[in-house]
A and B are shown apart, each in its own frame.
Chain A
Amino acid sequence: MIRDSLVVLFTLVIAMLLSIWTTEVSGLPLLIDWVALVLFYWVVALPARVGLTYALLTGFAVDVLSASPLGHYALIMTLVCLFGQLICLRFRKMDVLSQIALVFMLAGVARFIDVWLASFETQAVAVTPPLLTALCSALVWPVVMQILRYFRRYHGLTEW
């Protein structure tokens, strides 16, 4: 049980690392929303295990790393998680293109909530265009999903 949650947490930490690296390499912060993608995968794959606790913890960790008010990213993660829980059964049956389309929509909504919250916090100017983030995230989704699926099966994580 503990080992299983460590597996999930490990992938989430890797996602945070990836988001720092993409920022450094591309110069565009959050070009790909790795953390949201990874969390979404786990929610869809194991909805009975990965839920709001993971969403909140990850959200707070990202908030601390990115120096935004605590709860900013956590709120977005909660919504991503909630949406994942709602559609997980249908989502698993979709073909890749529909999945990409849905992830694009979800990431886009997440970005707009982010911009909206940020506009309350400071005189925010989105450095990376929100829709670009959504598009890039959607495009890497199939790869992320395949890798995480392999990883999940390798460690024998199943829903129940």
Chain B
Amino acid sequence: MVWVADRQTDVLDPVRRAGLDATDFIFDVAAVPGNIWQALSEASRSEDALYNRVDQLERENLVLQAKLQQMVALRAENSRLRALMNAGPRERNDVLATEIIGVSPNPNRQIIAIDHGSNDRVYPGQPLIDSDGLLGQVIEVASDTAQVMLISDASHSVPVQIIRNSVRAIAEGTGDLHRLRIEYLSTTTDIEIGDQLVTSGLGGRFPMGYPVAKVVAVERTDGDRFATVWAEPLAQLSRTRHVLLLFPEGTLASDINHGSRALAP
């Protein structure tokens, strides 16, 4: 009865939330060995290695800064052009860095836990990215943790478009971390192996333009209406530890450099 009630209605949502608040210490404790391991491996790294790492990061930072300079100019140019075409300004996002603290032990779904919750204004349906692409969306929020469904979950779909020619499609999860299925593309659609897929922004849940996946296989069978297309997620779904929560612009008072704690209301 409880199962039916929770599945069909949202009367049990407060109960579930309270339950998550009461049990989320398990995720916190579960993250302890990983943190200790990380701290140990950092502490045991030699000075030389650290210098090298700093050096490498500085260089990376320089490259990124250079790209950013160009980005500012491009963004200005883009908004001028959009104004000329009477199009509205592009939506921009604030981000909040968060950490993955656990993987849910559910054999049928792909769900992870992150260490920010409603106290940091995380809301259900909120998109998450890592440094390479779209990771998933928030499905359950407790005070200090939230649960995130990965884009590879079998019940997850994300509206995408091909960068090369703006053809729209839907990327569905398959339950396999390295495979997405691209649905509803007719056999005559122009799609090739290596095509980049980005979020299309349709549906309003995921903002436009974030990388999602790369096409790895296209099968066209004569007589079928739709092509079978497989893509590989760009985000590192199984390895990443630090991820970014996307907020609509202006929700967060500070910028990315201020870290999470500065953002509390």
> How far is A128 from B2 in the complex, measured between Cα atoms in Å?
26
- Also in contact, A30 and B106, with CB within 8 A (given A20-B27, A122-B154): yes
> How far is A65 from B102 in the complex, measured between Cα atoms in Å?
10
Pick the residue among B3, B7, B27, B108 that contacts A75 (CB under 8 A).
B3
Chain B 144-177 interface 0/1 with A at a Cβ cutoff of 8 Å (1 = within): 0001010000110000000000000000001111
- Also in contact, A23 and B104, with CB within 8 A (given A64-B16, A75-B3, A125-B174): yes
**Residue pair B3, A123 in contact (C-beta under 8 Å):** no
Asked if A17 is at the interface of the complex by the 8 Å CB criterion, the answer is yes
Asked if B34 is at the interface of the complex by the 8 Å CB criterion, the answer is yes
Pick the residue among B7, B12, B30, B111 that contacts A67 (CB under 8 A).
B111
The range of chain A's interface size is: 35 or more
Q: Which residues of A contact B5 (CB under 8 A)?
A: 70-71
Chain A 103-121 interface 0/1 with B at a Cβ cutoff of 8 Å (1 = within): 0000000010011011011
**Residue pair B7, A69 in contact (C-beta under 8 Å):** yes
Asked if A152 is at the interface of the complex by the 8 Å CB criterion, the answer is no
**Residue pair A66, B105 in contact (C-beta under 8 Å):** yes
> How far is A35 from B30 in the complex, measured between Cα atoms in Å?
15
Asked if B250 is at the interface of the complex by the 8 Å CB criterion, the answer is no
> How far is A74 from B1 in the complex, measured between Cα atoms in Å?
11
**Residue pair B108, A126 in contact (C-beta under 8 Å):** yes
Nearest opposing residue in chain B for A19, CB measure: B105
Asked if A62 is at the interface of the complex by the 8 Å CB criterion, the answer is yes
**Residue pair B108, A127 in contact (C-beta under 8 Å):** yes
- Also in contact, A66 and B23, with CB within 8 A (given A21-B33, A117-B3): no
Q: Could you show 25 A-B contacts with beta carbons less than 8 Å apart?
A: A16-B26, A16-B105, A17-B30, A27-B177, A29-B105, A60-B19, A64-B23, A65-B26, A65-B104, A66-B109, A67-B139, A67-B147, A68-B106, A69-B6, A69-B7, A70-B15, A71-B4, A72-B3, A74-B3, A114-B108, A118-B108, A121-B108, A122-B108, A124-B108, A124-B109
In the A-B complex, the 8 residue pairs with the closest CB atoms: A125-B175, A71-B3, A66-B106, A122-B155, A71-B2, A64-B19, A19-B105, A118-B108
| A interface residue numbers (CB < 8 A to B) | 13, 16-17, 19-24, 27-30, 60-72, 74-75, 111, 114-115, 117-118, 120-128, 130, 133
